[in-house]
Amino acid sequence: MSEIQLLVDFHQAGERQGPGSPEETRKALALIGFDEKEYLKAADIGCGTGAQTITLAQQINGHITAIDLFPEFLERLDQRARELGLSNKITTRKQSMDELQFGEGELDLIWSEGAIYNIGFETGIKQWRRFLKTGGYLAVSELSWISGSRPAELEQYWQEAYPEIDTVSNKIGALERNGYTPVAHFILPPYCWIDHYFRPMQQRFPQFLEQHNYADAVKAFIENEQQEIRMYEQYKDYYSYGFYIARKG
Ligand SMILES: C[S@@+](CC[C@H](N)C(=O)[O-])C[C@H]1O[C@@H](n2cnc3c(N)ncnc32)[C@H](O)[C@@H]1O
Confidence class for position 1, pLDDT limits 50, 70, 90: confident
* Residue nearest atom 16 of ligand 1, based on CA coordinates: 118
Give residue 130 CA to ligand 1 midpoint distance, Å. Answer: 21
* Residue nearest atom 17 of ligand 1, based on CA coordinates: 69
Q: Is 81 exposed, middle or buried (0-12, 13-18, 19+ CB in 10 A)?
A: buried
pLDDT digits (tens, 9 = 90+) for 125-172: 999 999 999 999 999 999 999 999 999 999 999 999 999 999 999 999
* CATH code for the part of the protein at 20-189+237-248: 3.40.50.150
> 127, 100 in Cβ contact below 8 A?
yes
Residue 111's DSSP bridge partners are: 44, 139
pLDDT digits (tens, 9 = 90+) for 111-130: 999 999 999 999 999 999 99
For the residues 196-218, what does the mean pLDDT come to? Answer: 97
Amino acid letter, 175: L
Give residue 218 CA to ligand 1 midpoint distance, Å. Answer: 21
* Residue nearest atom 27 of ligand 1, based on CA coordinates: 48
- Asked if residue 20 has its Cβ within 6 Å of ligand 1, the reply is yes
pTM of the model: 0.97
Burial of 49-63, coded b for 16+ CB within 10 Å and e otherwise, reads bbbbbbbbbeebebe
Average pLDDT, the chain: 97
- Which pLDDT belongs to residue 249? 85
Give residue 31 CA to ligand 1 midpoint distance, Å. Answer: 24
- Which pLDDT belongs to residue 63? 98
Parse the chain into domains and list their residue ranges: 20-189+237-248
